[in-house]
Structure 1
Amino acid sequence: MLVAAELLPDISAVVQQYILPFAWKALGAIVLWVVGGIVIAGAGRVVRNAMTARGIDPTFSHYLNSALSVLLKIVLLVAILGIFGVESTSFAAVLAAAGVAIGMAWSGLLANFAAGIFLVVLRPFKVGDAITGGGVTGDVREIGLFATTVDTGDGVRVFIGNNKLFADNIVNYSANATRRVDLRVQIAHGVDARQVAAALLARIKQIPNVVESPAPTADIFEFNAAGTLLYVRPFCATLHYGQVLDDTQRIIAEVTGGLPVPAPHHVEHRAS
């Protein structure tokens, strides 16, 4: 009991000199992180709403908002380290050294960051466009700092590294006002190809959302062993491509349903 009584003042001194100050600093850091996160989220909403009100393109708006959020979180982290006595100059030196090491180890990540900047500046596509890039086809939802978010037609969300996307061929289906549906129709020998093409053309002109300019076309594509191959090419807005494609295929089935089935014909010559 005497030893415990002698140690009690020392323990009390340690608690008052080290543990309590650290606990207060840790509590302050937690409060600062929570409040700072709320402020950063609020600032992001204000910036996003301001850019939306001014009619700024959503692609640039999302990218700038992401970059601003990362920058403010770095500033918040520096402020939290300052609570624990880490000077900003020392932190900057450590951050610079770490940046070199990270840059060497994560060169691919930095390449994605640089490619994201080029995607926003050069604008091969924007948020909402239907594209094919990096082996993925779908609608662009966001161009992030390191990856671009694409929703495919079957409802799958895919994240493509910006560098891979920028280095590959990018097909933008939304860049032009219209898109062509291109289908082939095989008809048998002995069937009047011109008559079938005229019937197809008359029907596809009645399909909803088929535009008048460029005008839809249907004609002979080639002659082959099975008969005559026709092409059918209506035009529509990218938004209506799937619907026009389905309706055109249905009409092709209806028009050619009662015709003879195409089959390859071979002519054999025998010596007499």
Structure 2
Amino acid sequence: MDTGRIATWMDQAQPILVAFGLKVVGAIAVFVVGRWLISLVTKLVGAAMTRQQLDPTVQRYLVSFITVALNIILVVAILGYFGVETTSFAALVAGAGVAIGAAWSGLLGNFAAGIFLLVLRPYQVADYVMIGGIEGTVLELGLFGTTLTTPDNVKTLVGNGKIMGSDIKNYSANPYRRVELVAQLAGSADLHKAIALLKQEVSKVANINTTPPVDVEILEFNEFGPKLAVRPHCHTEHYWQVYFDTNKTIADTLGAAGFPVATRPVKVYPI
């Protein structure tokens, strides 16, 4: 090939390549600055909502929505900078949205469920709940899912659609909750003495509510003897501390009082 012709093509292509390179650099600069501005705007909006004492659940939801919307606007602006017809792009996005919506109906269902959760407010940030079969403290109600920290300190995301389709238990909604425990006695044990002792000693466990008082009643009779239901009440924040301390108190109280250990009765078979 003629070297002169190659040189001519290079001379013609150089301005185009330079212009394209400048546009790429400009697009990168716009993206970086845009992302920084989006971060700044969301922080300012969050701070403004905090000053207005807006509910944390609503704050996180609105901030998530604003972030997504601004990122879409940023992408469209960059495409427009490259000369892409944004109206055609919008039509393309709308068409793609229909196709994606049909394929990902579950995602849109989570989005719709998130709106209902925000309106109905069955729980809010910092509540201790059981949702979608998962138990934990609410960190965030997002556009598509709710983030929890479980009791074993695992960050878990539960889809909003799954939450709306199942039972919601909010343990923080009421001022106290009941702790369910049992005490197994031997058949020869003094039942009334055991009930009186347990009521007295369990009432001394830290963070137990005085109203309603500790409830100790006969739950059932089994092959070992009577089984007692021991039910103290406490705030959700102290549930596990009360649970474990009460179990220890049951064991210590019955052991110190010399109650016989419940053992399986020996079955005698005729010869």
Letter in 1 for 2:11: S
**Alpha carbons 2:60, 2:142 under 8 Å: kept:** yes
Aligned-pair identity in percent equals: 45
After superposition, where does 1:125-164 map in structure 2 within 5 Å? Answer: 125-164=123-162
SS of 2:220's equivalent? strand
Aligned to 2:252: 254
CA shift, 1:267, in A, is: 9.7
Aligned to 2:86: 88
CA shift, 1:219, in A, is: 2.4
| TM-score (normalizing by structure 2) | 0.93
**Alpha carbons 1:140, 1:150 under 8 Å: kept:** yes
SS of 2:156's equivalent? strand
Aligned to 2:42: 44
Letter in 2 for 1:99: G
Aligned mate of 1:207, from 205, 208, 211: 205
**More displaced, 256-265 or 40-49?**
256-265
**Alpha carbons 1:129, 1:172 under 8 Å: kept:** yes
CA shift, 1:37, in A, is: 0.2
Aligned to 1:167: 165
Aligned mate of 1:120, from 118, 121, 128: 118
SS of 2:158's equivalent? strand
SS of 1:158's equivalent? strand
Q: Distance in 2 between matches of 1:251 and 1:61?
A: 44
1:70 matched to 2:62? The reply is: no
CA shift, 1:85, in A, is: 0.8
CA shift, 1:209, in A, is: 0.7
CA shift, 1:121, in A, is: 1.3
Q: Distance in 2 between matches of 1:60 and 1:244?
A: 33
**Alpha carbons 1:194, 1:219 under 8 Å: kept:** no
Letter in 1 for 2:245: D
**Alpha carbons 1:186, 1:228 under 8 Å: kept:** yes
Aligned to 1:61: 59
Q: Distance in 2 between matches of 1:185 and 1:232?
A: 7
Aligned to 1:4: 3
**Alpha carbons 2:213, 2:233 under 8 Å: kept:** yes
Q: Distance in 2 between matches of 1:68 and 1:146?
A: 14
1:110 matched to 2:113? The reply is: no
Q: Distance in 1 between matches of 2:79 and 2:215?
A: 69
Q: Distance in 1 between matches of 2:82 and 2:95?
A: 21
Aligned mate of 2:175, from 146, 154, 177: 177
Letter in 2 for 1:128: A
Any unmatched runs of 5+ in structure 1? none
Q: Distance in 2 between matches of 1:220 and 1:108?
A: 48
Q: Distance in 2 between matches of 1:233 and 1:177?
A: 16
Q: What is the root-mean-square deviation of aligned Cα atoms in Å?
A: 2.0
| TM-score (normalizing by structure 1) | 0.92
CA shift, 1:51, in A, is: 1.1
CA shift, 1:265, in A, is: 5.0
Aligned to 1:27: 25
SS of 1:145's equivalent? coil
SS of 1:116's equivalent? helix
SS of 1:188's equivalent? coil
**Alpha carbons 1:44, 1:65 under 8 Å: kept:** yes
CA shift, 1:266, in A, is: 8.1
**Alpha carbons 1:66, 1:144 under 8 Å: kept:** yes
Letter in 2 for 1:15: Q
Letter in 2 for 1:169: D
Q: Distance in 1 between matches of 2:195 and 2:201?
A: 10
**Alpha carbons 1:221, 1:231 under 8 Å: kept:** yes
Letter in 2 for 1:145: L
Aligned residues: 268
Structure 1 residues 92 and 267 mapped into 2: Cα distance closer, same or farther (>3 Å)? closer
**Alpha carbons 2:202, 2:250 under 8 Å: kept:** no
Letter in 2 for 1:94: L
**Alpha carbons 2:127, 2:138 under 8 Å: kept:** yes
